[in-house]
Amino acid sequence: MSAPSPIGRRRAAGPDPAADRLPERADVVVIGGGLIGLSIGWRLAESGLAVAVLEKGRAGDGASLAATGMLAAAAEHEPGGDALLPLALESQRLWHRFRDDLEAASGLPIDYRREGTLVIALGRDEVERLRFRHELQRRAGLDVAWLPGPAVREREPSLRPTVTAGLFCPEDHQVDPARVMAALRLALRAAGGRLVEDCPVEALDRAGGRVVGVRTAAGLARADTVVLASGAWAGEGNLVPDLALPVRPLKGQSVALKATPRSGALNHVVWTEQIHMAPKSDGQLVVGATVEEIGFDATLTAGGLFAILEGARRAFPGVEEMSVEGVWSGFRPTSDDDAPILGEALPGLVLAVGHHRNGYLLAPVTAAAIRDLVRGGALPATATPFGLGRFARPGLPLQRIP
């Protein structure tokens, strides 16, 4: 039985009337037409390379259009996250230029919102855990302010009076995923790149000890470089069984609500211990997300949706008056250490996978890093710690190629 389709899910623009065809040859073939694949493809095409992005279905249907669009380097910082933080902060810095370039190249606004993020405690039991989080952020040098309950409610009067404290992260912004994906499609094509949808890659083409292209049902596409950016599907092993990529799907269910005259609205992204809520400029409030280790099961469940809505109502009672615009699920591409895997894995094969729940935050730095690697032969210093080699076990070869 197939999984149900998302209901009311916000989508990027559809394919061009004259659909892109698979090229016989390109400088770079990118496998995966999600946020990461399109961002890489656009930046490479913009730099003058012939690029084809191949997507097995519709661009963005894996995790990119299921995401909330948060750019939350501070709010996402957790114990054990010190290694990832420099990459996250660099990408947060790059987002301003990425936004300007993307909007200029596509002619579309992406609803980049700068109000900041509030992480709140509801009741005294959560305050100590919030203090621990704040101390972790403070030691990392992050720009985060502690707010007592009245100061939180001054910023967001619609929150419940039981909000007892909060953290304000002024540099944690957000974008609208549907608008970003629509803009990336246009920007890629405007730069001369191709987006070939409904084109699953069946195998890598190898010769002389390196990857030299891809094989699809539509034919063979030769390339000097193949970039694997297929999200949660990168770890399935069909394309590169000799690497055993440590990437798996982490399911999340989300809900989109619509503000009404009686509901009120939020101005900031608001996190609780259970959920996050992201208000969009069109009046939608995206609430997510569950965290489920159940493989590629896209089923929408009553329990998952109840947990999301109850978590939102606990902080923001106005959700009871909001209309339901959509419900959906998606698959976060999660590595074994929750950090991305970047860099050359085999001669001719580059990886850009495993972004976990930070895909939107890390898109600019990932695209820049892979562009530098393909064009200049090396990753920038901030990206070098995130190669596949960090997962190698002593005495076992990480890769082999016929």
Any idea what the CATH number is for the domain that residue 361 is in?
3.50.50.60
Sequence-ordered alpha helix ranges (H) in 203-358 = 302-315
Domain limit, last residue, from 335, 363, 382: 335
Structure tokens given for 293 = 């280790």
Render the burial of 351-361: b for 16+ CB within 10 Å, e for the rest.
Answer: bbbbbbbbbbb
Q: Is there a single domain that holds both residue 222 and residue 199? A: yes
User: 138 and 255: one domain?
Assistant: yes
Is the same domain home to 135 and 160?
A: yes
- Under the phi-then-psi rule, with left for phi > 0, alpha for psi from -120 to 50, and beta for the rest, what region is 53? beta
Residue 347 and residue 330 in one domain = no
Find out whether 65 and 184 touch, Cβ atoms under 8 Å. no
Q: Are 51 and 30 in contact (CB under 8 A)?
A: yes
Q: Are residues 126 and 269 in the same domain?
A: yes
Closest CA to 319 of 255, 377, 365: 255
Tell me, what's the pLDDT at 61?
87
Do the strands 70-71 and 173-174 form a parallel or antiparallel pair, or are they unpaired? Answer: antiparallel
Q: What is the DSSP letter of 67?
A: S
Question: Residue 386: inside a domain, yes or no?
Answer: yes
Q: Are 55 and 32 in contact (CB under 8 A)?
A: yes
**Domain end point (choices 335, 356, 373):** 335
> CA torsion 123→124→130→132, rounded to 10°?
-160
Domain boundary among 335, 354, 375: 335
Examine residue 86 and state whether it is found in any structural domain, yes or no: no
H or E, element range at 42: helix 35-46
Beta-carbon contacts of residue 286 (< 8 Å; ≥ 6 apart)? 68, 69, 254, 255, 256, 257, 277, 278, 280
Quote the domain boundaries for residue 302.
114-171+249-335
In this structure, are 235 and 127 located in the same domain? no
Q: Are 336 and 246 in contact (CB under 8 A)?
A: yes
Q: What does the DSSP 8-state code read for residue 7?
A: B
In a domain, 284, yes or no: yes
Tell me, yes or no, whether 327 and 259 share the same domain.
yes
Q: Examine the domain organization and report whether 367 and 298 are in the same domain.
A: no
Residue 194 lies in a domain: yes
Contacts of 385 (CB under 8 A, 6+ apart): 83, 87
Would you say residue 102 lies in a domain?
no
Residues 256 and 322 in one domain: yes
Distance CA 99, CA 13 (A): 18
Predicted confidence at residue 393, as pLDDT, reads: 57
Do residues 38 and 184 make contact, with C-beta atoms less than 8 angstroms apart? yes
Amino acid (one-letter) located at 366: T
Q: How many domains does the chain have?
A: 2
Which CATH number does the domain housing residue 259 bear? 3.30.9.10
| Rounded Cα gap, residues 198 and 195, in angstroms | 10
Check: CB of residue 367 under 8 Å from CB of residue 97.
no
pLDDT for res 131: 97
Interacting residues of 73 by C-beta distance below 8 A, sequence separation 6+: 85, 88, 89, 91, 92, 142, 171, 172, 361
Instruction: Say yes or no: 353 and 322 in one domain.
Output: no
In a domain, 283, yes or no: yes
Answer yes or no: is 163 within a domain. yes
Residue 374: predicted pLDDT: 98
On whether both 162 and 255 belong to a single domain, the answer is yes
Report how far residue 31's alpha carbon sits from residue 226's, in angstroms, rounded to the nearest whole number: 7
Please give the pLDDT value at position 397.
45
* pLDDT for residue 11: 52
Q: List Cα–Cα distances, 267 to 66, 160, 161, 323, in angstroms.
A: 21, 15, 17, 18
Residue 354 placed within a domain: yes
| Residue 400: per-residue pLDDT | 38
Is the same domain home to 257 and 311? yes
| Cα 81 from Cα 257, distance rounded (Å) | 32
Tens place of pLDDT for every residue, the chain, 402 residues? 233 334 544 555 554 544 589 999 999 999 999 999 999 999 999 999 999 999 999 999 888 999 999 999 999 999 999 999 999 999 999 999 999 999 999 999 999 999 999 999 998 889 999 999 999 999 999 999 999 999 999 999 999 999 999 999 999 999 999 999 999 999 999 999 999 999 999 999 999 999 999 999 899 999 999 999 999 999 987 788 888 899 999 999 999 999 998 999 999 999 999 999 999 999 999 999 999 999 999 999 999 999 999 999 999 999 999 999 999 999 999 999 999 999 999 999 999 999 999 999 999 999 999 999 999 999 999 999 999 999 975 444 444 333
